[in-house]
Amino acid sequence: MLLIGTGALAACGGGGSGDGSAASTTTAAASGGVRLTPGSVTVQRTADAGAADPAVVDALVGAAGAYVRAATVDPLAGRPVRLDDLATAPARPLTRGTDAETLTDAGTGRLDGVTIDARPVPVSVLTDAQGAAVLGTVTIDLTVTGHNARGPVRIHRTGELAFVREGTAWHLDSWRLTVTRDGRGVPPAPRPSTTTGAP
């Protein structure tokens, strides 16, 4: 498993593009999908070649959206969390371990009227010596609102998701996240942050 954070990417040097001026998006989770919009895009190069291919940026944003659906939308709708197909083999056990309290909303219980307000997600891409994108991080800032039988519930999750390119797919490999949960009947907040390793 590659344990990286934005600090590791930034150390490689490179340029960037994008101004991060896109508007936040709000999704009604009952639709099942999650709309994320890219924010600023940064490219870190290990050689002279390498650029922010729009298809790569879209794929990384899509991978982050798939994570949000599996980790938040599904459990809040009463469905099981299924991250195995979205994660690398070394990361899969960690998605079910102690990190799961922060990584997913499995213990929150079913909520009704769920909406997700997502700020634009900055994307950082690391390219190899041939200029191909091999690693990427997506920074999320999500506010989830809904209600249970005891009243309103609010969940705020921020932090970084790191993805590794495996074939044509991007798989979740590590993360650094903070989550707060407010509302009656929800479990106590987990430790302030979680990560699979230091960047």
Query: What is residue 189's predicted lDDT score, i.e. its pLDDT?
Result: 65
The gap between the terminal CA atoms of the chain, to the nearest Å, is: 12
Query: What is residue 128's predicted lDDT score, i.e. its pLDDT?
Result: 85
* Residue 144 DSSP code: E
For residue 6, is pLDDT > 50?
no
Transcribe 49-118 into DSSP letters: -----HHHHHHHHHHHHHHHIIIIIHHHTTPPP--GGGB-TTTHHHHTSTTHHHH--TTS---EEEEEEE
Query: What is residue 152's predicted lDDT score, i.e. its pLDDT?
Result: 95
**% of the chain residues with pLDDT over 70:** 78
Query: What is residue 44's predicted lDDT score, i.e. its pLDDT?
Result: 86
- The chain-wide mean pLDDT, for the chain, equals 82
The burial of 178, by beta-carbon neighbours within 10 Å (0-12 exposed, 13-18 middle, 19 or more buried), is given as middle
pLDDT tens for each residue of 26-84:
766 665 678 899 999 998 887 777 677 899 999 999 999 999 999 999 999 999 999 99
Kindly state the tokens that stand for 153: 């519930």
Query: What is residue 84's predicted lDDT score, i.e. its pLDDT?
Result: 94
For residue 21, is pLDDT > 60?
no
- Under a CB-based contact definition with an 8 Å cutoff, are residues 172 and 91 in contact? yes
Dist. CA 34–CA 40, nearest whole Å: 19
Q: How does residue 163 score in pLDDT terms, banded at 50, 70 and 90?
A: very high
